[in-house]
Structure 1
Amino acid sequence: MNANEQLRSLIKSHRSIRRFQSKVVPQSIIDDLVECARWAPSSHNVQSYSIICIRNQQTKEKLDKLCGNQSYISQCPVFFVFVMDFYRHAVISSAYQTSFEIEETENLLIGSVDTALVAENFLLSARSHGLGGVMIGGIRNEAEEVAKLLKLPKWTLPIMGMCVGYPDQHPWQKPRITKSSIYHEEYYQTDNLNVDLAKYEHITEDYYTNRTNGKKTDGWGKQMSVYFSKVRRAKLTKFIKDQGFSLK
């Protein structure tokens, strides 16, 4: 298998790993993951992110609870928090005595995309070292408390966490939505969407039924309908505004 095939295989073999060996992740590997993350694309080269590495067990246990009692956070060898970060830009603007027009919604989008791209580079690089991981959106459940715990300054937001370590499991790979549902040529096409979604519903119903021995049978569509029927992270908007993003 050549390098291109290896890369494509790595990308397409993604699985979320939530159980890890007790083996320590060497600092040399973490340094390489950060270096690879640094070269992710960035709009206008803004580079509006920071990465916080957490090994302290007490801190991981607190984050475990703040993220909705996700025990793999406290059990993983090392946990990372990917932070949307415009604090550096505020410092620069002050140094050059220019106005700091950070409140626009566009900047929130730029920072979120920057941070997500960095996190994906980081995870792919981790997997190339034989590590596994899982991204944790629950880091936003209690974003204000996370910010206090990690001493985040104004103009920063925790976007996602990531458990990293040597895998101690090989979970089933969840089937992805059909290509015809997400790929469009020339314009957004909806003619076959209902048919495509029905196919995917059957695929995912079979997947969950087999994976759980019948304990869970709902397909992707049913799960999404339940997911989006509930209000989530209602406090997040206020925290975002308190951090300096008024969403103009």
Structure 2
Amino acid sequence: MTDAASAVAGALARRFGETVNVPPSTAGLDELLRIATHVTHRRWADRPVPDDLVRLLAACALSAPSKSDLQQADIVQVRDPARLDAIAALVPQMPWVRGAPAFLVFCGDGRRFRRIFARRGQPFVNEHLDAFFNPAVDAALVLMNFIRAAEAAGLACCPISVLRDRATELSAILELPEHVFPVAGLCAGYPAAALSVNPRLSLKASFHIDRFDDEDTDALLDEFDERWALARAQRGGPASAPPPAPVPAVGPRWSDEKAKQYSVAQRADWGAFVRAKGFGLD
């Protein structure tokens, strides 16, 4: 196996706790390695990100697939310090928002498409849930495309979905009009340090052939809980390295953490916010 193939295989073994075959002849191994070793960063080097680079990355991001070529995603780069301070104040538990060299908000945009109908004097006859869902998916694809482009350019990123907890205030700060809504923020900058990959559920849990199969969910959750706890105890090491030798797991498991996180109701007003933006959700 080539060095590149071995690095990809090591990263995926660390991520999923199982072997993924990586043929040395596979095209694009460098890009696959970048994807396989993706990590979220929250600490930044003291190095600015040029606005021209952000614009370039935005152009690459907006080259993502779009439902029926409707192009219902927009990006707002927040440069104004006062606006950025106001956004950071919405999420004081996340100081890396204000410290990020570049900060953007990715939005679903159902406004521009409706303008096509308004200009023709035609009624918009698809005012239902799908008219919201499509721009939300478009924005998510653009967000992921931006992250991929940013990492190719040497940057690191941290998505900020918790901003939807304060969607009304964020919308006011960014002056988002009717039918435009925030999907997530994104911090971007040059990373302060290298990080190891976070584990994910095994492919047996989340990759299916021909039919959805969750018969072994409990056993797979138990396996992941143990592996997740071990990874936390052994944090560190190169992102592409194979998993280290097991040590006794200590502390809470993944399912403990997630159950605790979602034991508190979140975004109960999200539907009301979306309806106030003019979307029908039936």
Same fold per superposition (TM over 0.5): yes
Q: Determine if contact 1:208/1:219 at 8 Å carries over to the other structure.
A: no
Kindly state the Cα deviation for residue 68 of structure 1 after the two structures are TM-superposed: 4.6
Partner of 2:229 in structure 1?
205
Partner of 1:84 in structure 2?
108
Pick the structure with greater CA Rg: 2
The 1-side partners of 2:167 and 2:214 are apart by: 37
Unaligned runs of 5+ in 1: none
Partner of 1:231 in structure 2?
265
Kindly state the Cα deviation for residue 9 of structure 1 after the two structures are TM-superposed: 0.5
1:24-64 deviation line (CA, Å, top 9, x unaligned): 21223112211111211111111111100112222222111
Partner of 1:111 in structure 2?
135
- AA at the equivalent of 2:55: D
Aligned residues with identical type, % of pairs: 25
Q: For structure 1, which segment, 150-159 or 185-194, has the greater mean C-alpha deviation from structure 2 after superposition?
A: 185-194
Partner of 2:244 in structure 1?
none
Over 3 Å counting, the alpha-carbon distance change for 1:80 and 1:234 in structure 2 is same
The 2-side partners of 1:70 and 1:195 are apart by: 34
The 2-side partners of 1:15 and 1:156 are apart by: 29
Kindly state the Cα deviation for residue 102 of structure 1 after the two structures are TM-superposed: 5.1
2:54 counterpart SS class: helix
The 2-side partners of 1:146 and 1:136 are apart by: 12
Q: Number of matched residues?
A: 246
Partner of 2:165 in structure 1?
141
Kindly state the Cα deviation for residue 82 of structure 1 after the two structures are TM-superposed: 0.2
TM (normalized to structure 1)? 0.93
- Let me know the Cα RMSD of the aligned residues: 1.9
Over 3 Å counting, the alpha-carbon distance change for 1:241 and 1:3 in structure 2 is same
Partner of 1:187 in structure 2?
211
Match of 1:157 among 155, 176, 181: 181
2:85 equivalent to 1:61: yes
- AA at the equivalent of 2:190: Y
Partner of 1:176 in structure 2?
200
Unaligned runs of 5+ in 2: 5-25, 237-247
Match of 1:46 among 51, 70, 80: 70
1:76-111 deviation line (CA, Å, top 9, x unaligned): 111000011111112221101111245311122111
Q: Determine if contact 1:67/1:140 at 8 Å carries over to the other structure.
A: no
The 2-side partners of 1:3 and 1:29 are apart by: 27
Partner of 2:281 in structure 1?
247
Partner of 2:190 in structure 1?
166
- The runs of at least 4 aligned residues of structure 1 exceeding 4 Å deviation read none
Kindly state the Cα deviation for residue 170 of structure 1 after the two structures are TM-superposed: 2.2
The 1-side partners of 2:167 and 2:125 are apart by: 23
Q: Determine if contact 1:133/1:164 at 8 Å carries over to the other structure.
A: yes
- AA at the equivalent of 1:20: W
TM (normalized to structure 2)? 0.82
- AA at the equivalent of 1:243: K
